[in-house]
Structure 1
Amino acid sequence: MLKKIDQAALFLEKNQQVFRCPFCHEAMKAKDKTLFCSNRHRFDLSKKGTLYFLKQHVKTEYDQKMFQHRRALILNGMYDPLIALLAEKCQGERVLDVGCGEGSFLHLLEQQATLLPSVGFDLSKEGVYLASDYNQKHFFCVADLTNLPFNKGTFSTILNIFSPSNYQEFARVSQSNGQVIKVVPRSGYLKELRQAFFPEDLAKQHYSNEAVIAKFQETFPKMERKIVTYTFEIPENCQHSLLEMSPLEWSVTKERKEFLQKNLLSRITIDLEVLIGRFSADNMKNM
């Protein structure tokens, strides 16, 4: 079996047209485990088979430990109904997974839908390194949402799960009539965890994504909306991971966390809205 870096090198050779230099925006070529442009900007594959497209190192609070806990829950079925819905929409697509984290969504999507060679990126190097554990039919890299290292008209689907958006960049890298699928939490998402973490703080127990939805609708006036709501019975071996899987735990007191580690939650509400829009000639022109 090929090493990760060799698998990734093959991906670059076959798909070099996907990429453009994030520094000068010139086309790139692949050779000897490297992507480079005519202005001699060079990006070398890591041993993990990933590329780092940022000018300088960015440290995020999303660490390897958190991504591992998130992976445990995703692989044990926490988002299976969501993935089934996404698979229907992504069959035969070339996907850009925006804010891919540790790569499990794209990995599970591939198991239910035949995808063209696709790309996931994240700002967190720790997440992208973990994503490289999966089959290298797809490629993972560290990149900036505001300056994507991809060519115009490359992807037929932009997948945007629980992550920020940049619709101008999405329009640039999207194919004509390409779709954007954005997944946002609704008010009931992880409500049991919020109540457990912040029993005295009602403001932290409730939130709204209406502003995010309004922005999407402004970009895609003919958007499609789907609600995905259910209760997930958490496998016993993943109940501890629920406490560690999201930024929610960053502001929880040590005492409260210790209490919950002894009184683990066994079920959690998943309450999501899936927004689906397509770029038309008009809204791409206005970007």
Structure 2
Amino acid sequence: MSWSCPLCHAPLTRSGNSYCCPHRHQFDMAKEGYVNLLPVQHKRSRDPGDSAEMMQARRAFLDAGHYQPLRDAICAKLDEIKPAQLLDIGCGEGYYTHAFAEIAGHTWGLDVAKNAIRAGAKRYANVDFCVASSQRLPFEDNCMDVVVRIYAPCNPEELARVVKPGGWVITVTPGPRHLVELKGLIYDEVQLHAPHSETLPGFTLQTHDALAYPMQLSGAEAVTLLQMTPFAWRAKPDVWETLKGQEHFDCQTDFAIHAWQRSED
């Protein structure tokens, strides 16, 4: 199996350092080994995704092991399934993806951020990386045994299209008290995350697991964590300064891990 053309959905065939479809749409491989399958007309901004600075900060935070229990929990589920083909949507620089590749037969990593994909491709040779939109997955129908989606948005119709009958989607979303201490610095009244309410047409929710544990962070790590959250833009300058000056910042995680199975049809 290989990529499919993001413009016409025909299969892409590799020739040298390029991928081409029967309609002569061509996509060149970067020197780092990834392929950019995000046409200009599919971009929502000039340079979508996180900046290089944000990507590097996130990498340092993840490499410190703060989210390793989450990675281990997903790997345990994958070890039960033993997928031959796995896609990680919103893979970033590949912190989770390369661990999945130790279990899956063939692992693909997709993200809209070129900086993150470039870094991942340079670091992890056991993953096929691409820059692409999660709204238009560049893969053929019924080709994936497992799709992993950690926080990343995706078109549910695309999930139903690319996952094999009987295959799986594993999603991670924030639990009610995820990063509640961090939110307490930003909001006058902290609202807990709403209970899970997602549905995936064509899939049945088979398991729902909660994972929660405390983290003790340095001030710099707390700043990086805030940068990684969707509520960073609400943080006033004094919040950033307060975090930077902290010797220790205690913060709890609360993850909801869902395993969905596609119906056999």
TM-score, length-normalised on structure 2? Answer: 0.88
| Equivalence map 1:200-211=2 (5 Å) | 200=188, 202=189, 205-210=190-195
Pick closer, same or farther for the CA change 1:226–1:143 going to 2, 3 Å.
same
The CA deviation at 1:30 is 0.5
The CA deviation at 1:218 is 5.9
In the alignment, the residues of structure 2 paired with residue 66 and residue 123 of structure 1 have an alpha-carbon distance, to the nearest angstrom, of 14
The CA deviation at 1:120 is 0.9
Q: Secondary structure at the match of 1:23?
A: coil
Q: Secondary structure at the match of 2:126?
A: coil
Asked whether the equivalents of residues 53 and 142 of structure 1 are also in contact (C-alpha less than 8 Å), the reply is yes
State yes or no: 1:104 paired with 2:95. Answer: yes
Segments ≥4 residues shifted beyond 6 Å: none
Which one of 18, 21, 35 corresponds to residue 5 of structure 2? 21
The amino acid that maps onto 2:90 is G
The CA deviation at 1:238 is 3.5
Asked whether the equivalents of residues 219 and 244 of structure 2 are also in contact (C-alpha less than 8 Å), the reply is no
Pick closer, same or farther for the CA change 1:125–1:41 going to 2, 3 Å.
same
Which one of 135, 140, 144 corresponds to residue 133 of structure 2? 144
Pick closer, same or farther for the CA change 1:218–1:141 going to 2, 3 Å.
closer
The CA deviation at 1:114 is 2.2
In the alignment, the residues of structure 1 paired with residue 32 and residue 67 of structure 2 have an alpha-carbon distance, to the nearest angstrom, of 27
Asked whether the equivalents of residues 240 and 264 of structure 1 are also in contact (C-alpha less than 8 Å), the reply is no
> What CA deviation, in whole Å up to 9, does each residue of 1:203-247 have, x standing for no partner?
xx324343xx32336653443100101112336773443343333
State yes or no: 1:52 paired with 2:36. Answer: yes
Which one of 246, 252, 265 corresponds to residue 263 of structure 1? 246
- Which has a greater percent of strand? 2
Kindly, what percent of the aligned residue pairs are identical? 26
Pick closer, same or farther for the CA change 1:247–1:69 going to 2, 3 Å.
farther
- Consecutive unaligned residues in structure 1, runs of 5 or more: 1-16, 283-287
Report the counterpart of residue 166 of structure 2 in structure 1.
177
Asked whether the equivalents of residues 189 and 270 of structure 1 are also in contact (C-alpha less than 8 Å), the reply is yes
| Structural RMSD (CA) | 2.1
- Which has a greater percent of helix? 1
The count of corresponding residues between Structure 1 and Structure 2 is 258
Asked whether the equivalents of residues 86 and 147 of structure 2 are also in contact (C-alpha less than 8 Å), the reply is yes
- Consecutive unaligned residues in structure 2, runs of 5 or more: none
Q: Secondary structure at the match of 1:30?
A: strand
